[in-house]
Amino acid sequence: MKTTGQKQLKYYVIGAGSIGKRHHQNLLSLGADARLLSWRNISLNDFVTLLGNIPAQRSAVVIATASQVRFDLIQAAANANVPVYIEKPLAFRVSDLDRIYDVAQPIIARSMIGFMMRYHPMITALAGRKHDDIYGFSFEIGHDVRQWRQDWQFKDSYAAKSQGGGALLDLCHELDIAQLLFPDARLGQVDCLGHSDFENVDFATRISLIQHNGPSGTVAMDYLSPHSIRRINLRGRNAISDIDLLAGTETRSQNGVLHTTQSALERNNMFVDIMRDFMNLAESGQPPENQIAPMMDNVYESCKLIAQAWEARQFHGHISGGMQ
């Protein structure tokens, strides 16, 4: 394991939900001095005071709160010159995203966004390939939201909120990957299926991405699939690739020959690897080992695409029942 930089920092994880607890535990496993704080139990003034009591350049912050309350936290961290790791999505409105980037300028080169799927070995491999011959693509993720965690109810979660909830924002890694691989693709139609009990919350969303004289494709995400799926299909003039990110397999058809490769993956390894890179960045300014690491200063377009898609949602129907 690569050690972190020369300067030991105090890490504050703001947000004590499942993802905040995961980040806190991973920081501890990496040898960090980390403290987990519930946003419900502290105020913005408490947070500002906390940062003010630490000498400059001696702390870092992980923000794992609901996305609608992040602006003030990021602004406070930037004012204190404290680097941040911010869970995705950064914002779900373009205007809010631009406000965040404006206030984050003092720390933007030392901060990261939580697109941890960029640490999946199959995504790093795809990012290293040329995609000149691709004419079509699809990304798909689906999971029955009721099966997420034991003793967890959808109606009481962030996912059920009309502002900041829904499948598009929750499962937006696939939009980031699509933008990473096909940066010239632009947003087309965004079609959603809602739920009769949860207004303005998308349960199944299909997004079209289009490019002039280039590949077009779709990104689909849902809370409904009876078993988990996470797949990528790339169609090119020379080859077709079918990738199962959960199984870690790629089946590639080229010149009439099928070839399958496999990459073993333990899901938490991605969270550990991205946090290790953030620690090195925050403590000693070392650039991430991962060449496609989601540095805040290079993922604006992905964050913008997610916000644009959320604002462009069109609901075409609803399901009912069974989501309490």
Whether 140 and 229 have beta carbons less than 8 Å apart is answered as yes
Q: In this structure, is residue 218 part of a structural domain? A: yes
Tokens 């494709």 — which residue? 217
Q: How many domains does the chain have?
A: 2
The Cβ of residue 26 has, within 10 Å, a number of other Cβ atoms equal to: 22
Distance separating alpha carbons of residues 66 and 18, to the nearest angstrom: 12
State the CATH number of the domain containing residue 176.
3.30.360.10
In a domain, 219, yes or no: yes
Residue 146: name the closest of 207, 227, 69 by CA.
Answer: 227
- pLDDT value for 145: 80
Same domain, 232 and 273: no
Q: State whether 220 and 105 are in the same domain.
A: no
Angle subtended by helix axes 300-311 and 94-103, to nearest 10:
150
98 is written with which tokens? Answer: 């631009």
Q: What pLDDT sits at residue 265?
A: 80
Q: Is there a single domain that holds both residue 166 and residue 312?
A: yes
C-alpha angle with apex 164: 159 to 166, nearest 5 degrees?
45
Tokens of 94: 């373009």
My answer on whether 165 and 311 are in the same domain is yes
Q: Return the DSSP state at 246.
A: T
- Tell me: do 103 and 154 sit in the same domain: no
**What pLDDT does residue 44 have?**
92
What DSSP character marks residue 281?
Answer: H
Regarding whether 227 and 81 lie in a shared domain, the answer is no
Question: Which residues lie below 8 Å from residue 168, measured CB to CB, with a gap of 6+?
Answer: 175, 190, 192, 202, 205, 207, 221, 306, 309, 310, 313
Tell me if 301 is assigned to some domain.
no
In angstroms, the CA 172 to CA 313 distance is: 14
- Grouped pLDDT means (10 residues each) for the chain, 324 residues: 59 94 97 94 91 78 91 95 96 97 97 97 94 95 79 79 92 97 96 94 97 94 94 95 96 89 88 97 90 97 98 93 70
- Do the domain assignments include residue 61? yes
Tokens at residue 320, please? Answer: 């009912």
- Dihedral angle of Cα 206, 212, 213, 217, to the nearest 10 degrees: -10
Looking at the structure, tell me whether residues 22 and 142 fall in a common domain.
no
54 in a domain, yes or no? Answer: yes
Give the pairing type, strands 186-195 and 314-319. parallel
200 and 315 co-located in one domain: yes
- Determine the Cα angle at 63 with ends 37 and 5, to 5°: 95
Q: The domain containing residue 135 runs over which residues?
A: 117-266+306-319
Tell me the backbone φ, ψ of residue 314, rounded to 5 degrees. Answer: -125, 120
Q: Give yes or no: residues 112 and 165 share one domain.
A: no
Q: Is this structure's pTM higher than 0.85?
A: yes
pLDDT at 121: 95
pLDDT at residue number 55: 65
Residue 324 is assigned to a structural domain of this protein? no
